[in-house]
Chain A
Amino acid sequence: MKEILFGVVVLSLGILIIGCSQKKSNLENASVNGIFYAGNGNEPQDLDPSVVTGVSEQRIVSALFEGLVSENPQTLQPEPATAESWDISKDALTYTFKLRKNAKWSDGIPVTAQDFVYAYNRILSSKLGSQNAYMLYCMKNAEGFNKGTIADFKDVGVKAINDHELQITLERPTPYFLPLIAHMSWFPLQKKNIEKFGAMDQRGTKWTLPGNLVGNGSFILKDWKVNKVIKVVKNPHYWDAGNVKLNEIDFFPISDNQAEERTFRGGQLHMTFTVPTSKIDYYKKNASDVIKISPYLGTYYIAFNVQKPPFDNVLVRKAFSLAIDRKSIAEDVMKGGKIPADSFTPPNTAGYTSLTKLVYDVQLARKCLADAGYPDGKGFPRVEIMCTKLDIAEALQDMIQKNLNIKISLVNKEWKMYLDSFRTRDFYVATASWIGDYNDPLTFLGMWTSDSGNNRARWLNKDYDKLMAESSICINHNSRFEIFKKAETLLMEQAPIIPLCYCTSMALLAPQLKGWYPNVLDHHPYKYMSLEKTL
């Protein structure tokens, strides 16, 4: 009896296991066929370049579409793409782009200047409600049209001179204009394709589904299985198709970074979207050629609600800033080669480096706190740190308690609640991060003006506003940066926010993958990538 039953169990398990005891190596097969397996974070919400915002979406959209210029994979300098050349007027306000004659959509129809005008009209139309429309605000009257104060799109500074010449007029001099238009919000769209499935400014039509979508990028959308895979294949109509080495890219939406790392280790991915903090040390020690860590255009910081006591007092904010050991946070908590921050704008952002310096000085911190009226933390009201991820906040809590003798509690909020608390200003201190939209200090410093929606500290400072206004009309590169430096110094002195450390981008790369270069935007054009067949 016993034997028989045991036999049944063992046998069935055995069959199960033996029946599948051979497993082919996916990655090598894929490499031979030129199929690139990429981990891609979250399931993309859509693939409409005018609508999507996330990094996961950006990675796919940039394979399917191409803008006027593209980024050099190493330096991020603008390079000719759909536009083969351009002229800039003397006052730096008018750009004229000459489009390539051989630039084609994936259905074989040539890309024309009208396609760009159409795309810009679409993204700026208020009915579409694009979250990226602000990226085009440097264009003349674009903001007005988007917000409804200008009714006619003809007044917006974009014009198709003929099929192959596009003229863009700017609102004000924008030194970062060319890098900016490599962003997906500036990609062209085919009118015929979009309006086959609905009106121009209608959201959520089916035009972005496989078989429907027509793009002008180096790849075509072939398959899209929700939460499973998105496949794109090489576009034969792409103007530079001869230089595209990959035959196919499979994007896997693996939102759990632990699962993604395991999938990579199991040999199913050429590239991961990110690396779990806990695995960094392991890879650095055992497989340092696989893990890639590079500076990323972003900063972790804490924001004070400066309109709510006790943080309306600059001395309290200073005391907190001085009591934080950034080095320990960067190295022991965040890991991955993070650098402690001395400014909000990461150093060498398009050549700009702030002059500020942030120090860790417990004695001075205590003195500041005493001057603010809380000697040795006495009488300090009960406040809390709001966060969405615990590691930094936990370390901060401990540091503040140790160094300032202030007890703070932690509130770990679910993402949407966290965002909502900023909106309703229902927080004291919050950990946060900011990733720059484009490679220019303005994307970091512009957000702390009084009228900015992203000013989470609700810090209102007339001097700062004046400096930023000055910078926006300044044409000279160097004097513009000088103004930025003044503004950043003011920001650090007033300390409505405290930078903690700069972000890094992390990825695991299989050795077969070539043509991947680190850069501060973590953009990696697929055109340059290739897969080595043998190792």
Chain B
Amino acid sequence: MWSFLLKRFLHAIPVLFVVATITFFLIRAAPGGPFSSEKVLPPEAIASLNSYYGLEKPIYKQYYEYMFSLLKGDMGPSFQYTNRTVAGMIMEAFPVSLELGFMAMGFALTLGVCMGVFAATKPNSMRDYMSMSFVMIGICVPPFVLGPILIWFFAIKLEWFNVSGWGSFRDCILPVITLGAIYAANIARLGRAGMLEVLSQDYIRTARAKGVPEILVIVKHSLRGGLLSVVSYIAPAIAGIITGAFVVETIFQIPGLGRLFVLAAFNRDYTMIMGTVIFYAVMVIIFNTIADVIQIVLNPKRSFDEG
């Protein structure tokens, strides 16, 4: 296993290098600089800003210097938020995103697995259609519609929750539902498909024939195999959920990573864009590795040797 992890780690280095390079040049190619503002700056001020952030140097030199400081673990200062560093801001936003992401995943798992398994117990029946239709709301209604509807009903009409903000557990519920809905739908789908496959196996038929109660058949004999694909879905999904929550973060006013990135892209905050993208890539690699490890552990057909 350790050699497997080492191999993954070595593979990650060129990936991160390419990711950083592509983003660096893409974002520099975009029109408009970090200091173009509504009221035009005198050229002297622009010159001094450029020299402060090293933007007056030729691009290859900027690239070289950025990569070099990145190697030393320095992501530089944010262009937009002048008294902060990129690393500092990411580290402040990351725990929030992590918390939101894990809770949303927990919600999605609970709902998704229940509904998926429930639907699979009687395929092509009303039960199947109803439960699957219910979870499918998650992938059919865009979060920027689902969020405001939930807010309108639960926060404004019923006054159960705060409309926005991030502090107590109560503040998490609506965003978690909004964010988790789409994942719940996918988990339900995977769970249903996996269960269907397992339930058609011979040993299940044998178990049923032996008179094992249905509930035991499902919980004891088929859940493990049926949910294998769900397990390997979770890890990469968490990576996505953590950084891809821009819409939910905007609607519910959550100080997470997604907003950090999108605002940076619009403001041409070069260092912040680089920082968030690289951070995200690292997350993807880590969670994908975790997914593989879990799969290998759970699935006897695979081994750590395959890479």
Contact = CB atoms under 8 A, between A and B. Distances in A.
Direct touch of chains A and B (CB < 8 A)? yes
Contact of A1 (B44, B162, B214): B214
Contact of A254 (B33, B151, B253): B253
A263 interface: yes
A290 B160 CA distance: 23
A228 B255 contact: yes
Contacts, number: 168
Contact of A416 (B89, B159, B268): B268
B255 A226 contact: yes
A489 to B, nearest CB: 25
Contacts of A414: 266
A258 B83 contact: no
Contacts of A205: 83
A359 interface: no
A130 B266 CA distance: 22
Nearest to A127: B48
Nearest to A44: B81
A56 to B, nearest CB: 12
A26 B83 CA distance: 31
Contacts of B115: 9
B176 to A, nearest CB: 10
Interface in A258-276: 258-259, 262-263, 265-268
Contact of A203 (B42, B82, B111, B161): B82
B203 to A, nearest CB: 20
Given A265-B163, A266-B155, A419-B32, A453 B42 contact: yes
B110 A268 contact: no
A268 B42 contact: no
B173 to A, nearest CB: 6
A147 B117 contact: no
A2 B259 CA distance: 42
Contacts of B61: none
A21 B160 CA distance: 6
Contacts of A129: 45-49, 52
A287 interface: no
A414 B263 CA distance: 12
A420 B31 contact: yes
Given A20-B170, A259-B164, A262-B151, A227 B259 contact: yes
Interface centre among B32, B92, B170, by most chain A C-beta atoms within 10 angstroms, is B32
B40 A453 contact: yes
Given A23-B159, A126-B44, A256 B121 contact: no
Contacts of B114: 5, 8-9
A225 interface: yes
A247 interface: no
Contacts of A131: 37, 39, 41, 45
B236 to A, nearest CB: 25
B228 to A, nearest CB: 20
A127 B163 CA distance: 44
A43 interface: yes
Contacts of A23: 159-162, 170
24 contacts: A1-B121, A1-B215, A5-B114, A23-B161, A43-B81, A51-B82, A131-B45, A148-B44, A203-B82, A206-B83, A207-B83, A209-B83, A227-B93, A228-B253, A255-B263, A262-B151, A262-B164, A263-B164, A266-B151, A266-B159, A266-B163, A420-B31, A423-B40, A453-B42
Given A20-B161, A130-B45, A131-B45, 6 more contacts: A20-B170, A43-B263, A226-B93, A227-B255, A266-B162, A423-B40
Name the 8 nearest CB pairs between A and B, nearest first: A416-B32, A266-B163, A453-B40, A227-B255, A129-B48, A420-B32, A204-B82, A228-B255
